Structure 1
């Protein structure tokens, strides 16, 4: 169990690299706490267009980190989802295995990693967001050469997973030519394009350098209490 957790703006240096002066680290201003809202969605799912728009509404809040994961469960109905990747479905399956749901489904909202069976209803999902307890916002440090790093400090009895999630920021539209949503110009928001597990954090002082990204993608760091577990802390990269 996490008994004390904080995120410090520290610059990661390999043991062979002399430490740089602290004045070279520029820390991004961010909310003190955040709420992570994940949506598992599909271009072939009839209810998903409304869920995508609801996620965009949530994402307009400064304290909300909104992420949409494309999954391929509806591909058998005549349209292959353009964003789906196997690792995105694996993430949803981890939530299902840890929580109340009997199987994967869409649209599926997950708030702060809590694996409750939160079936789609605008009022129900909105109420769950309003009732959720925010998590501490991670602070990312930046060096003069544009690199970013994350340091963690605290005690753990089980490993926590550190994920880097890259996504296309904002709203984009795609024309759906066939399947259950044939003829619809579908709105998407913050569609995830890749996910990378950086490390398992087992507690104590630890620092992690964050990989670079392409210029057209944004990214967030999620620190999670094991597979399908709760989000412990999170932050957007500048």
Structure 2
């Protein structure tokens, strides 16, 4: 009988220890969830040109990254600048607007000049666009930082040569919403210049930028023009909220286009 009582006592102590461990584990799990940062994101802006011999390696890098991050909030935008056009080859995707955007980043980031290929991540850090390790580290780091201003793009409707986008965001103070129309991929056979004779492949090509003043409004809608022969499968929209004073990007989102048939049916 005495040994039986001892067995019961030991069993009770063991059960108590297990309950204590389980309770501790639950507390730790709740604590871990409580301190886990919110969803981060990375807006990768590549400044490139078909006239620059150093740019194809950066174009290839962002193409590789794009394939690897399909399940993550990573948004790639490739801007083709126009200042290389005078050196023998006119980049069909280039625009002075994208060169001006790059110069604005030079002001925000206190750079003495612009160059290609250049990558800017979330408007805060910049580096040579072909530096794979630097890019991957920047993405990894920024995915851990909580998004400051949530952004949603929804109710995309296509009507002829225009698309209507509805947006909601928590950012209104000293910020603008920028929506980019992005061509998912393309290829060009370059005839002249530093890349003469090469066929260059591109991804996430920005073909249009729309800047929307938020004016203390957390939601609204706007239109964006679509190219001739628009195929919704080959294009997407990327939006981001940017601080006008320092260039920091505080929220971002992506939206696919509905098929033309479903868009027409909803009108």
TM-score by length of 2: 0.68
Whichever of the two has the greater Rg, that structure is 2
Please say if residues 180 and 239 of structure 2, whose CA atoms lie closer than 8 Å, have aligned partners that are also in contact. Answer: yes
Counterpart of 1:222 in structure 2 is: 240
RMSD of the alignment, in Å? 2.5
Q: Which SS does the other structure have where 1:223 is aligned?
A: strand
- Higher share in helix: 2
Q: Is the 8 A contact 2:171 2:218 kept in 1?
A: no
Residues 227 and 182 from structure 1, CA distance in 2 versus in 1: closer, same or farther, beyond 3 angstroms? Answer: farther
- 1:25 corresponds to: none
Tell me how far 1:181 sits from its aligned partner. Answer: 0.7
Decide whether the 8 Å contact of 1:72 with 1:81 is kept in 2. Answer: yes
More displaced 10-residue stretch of structure 1: 227-236 or 209-218? 209-218
CA separation of 1:227/1:49 partners in 2, compared to 1, >3 Å: closer, same or farther?
farther
Query: 1:154 deviation in Å?
Result: 5.4
8 Å Cα contact 1:69/1:192 also seen in 2: yes
Tell me the residue number matched to 1:149.
Answer: 166
- Which residue pairs with 2:255 in the alignment? 237
Call closer, same or farther: CA 1:166–1:155 in 2, change over 3 Å.
closer
Query: Which residue matches 1:100?
Result: 110
Q: What is the deviation of 1:227?
A: 5.8
The unaligned stretches of length 5 or more in structure 1 are 1-30
Specify the alignment match of 2:127 in structure 1: 118
1:184 aligns with 2:198: yes
Between the aligned partners of 2:57 and 2:156, the Cα distance in structure 1 is 41
In 2, the alpha carbon distance for the partners of 1:44 and 1:118 equals: 20
Partner of residue 22, structure 1: none
Say whether 1:174 aligns with 2:188: yes
Change (3 A) 1:131 1:182: same
Higher RCO, Cα 8 Å, sep 6+: 1
When the two structures are superposed, what TM-score results if normalisation uses the length of structure 1? 0.76
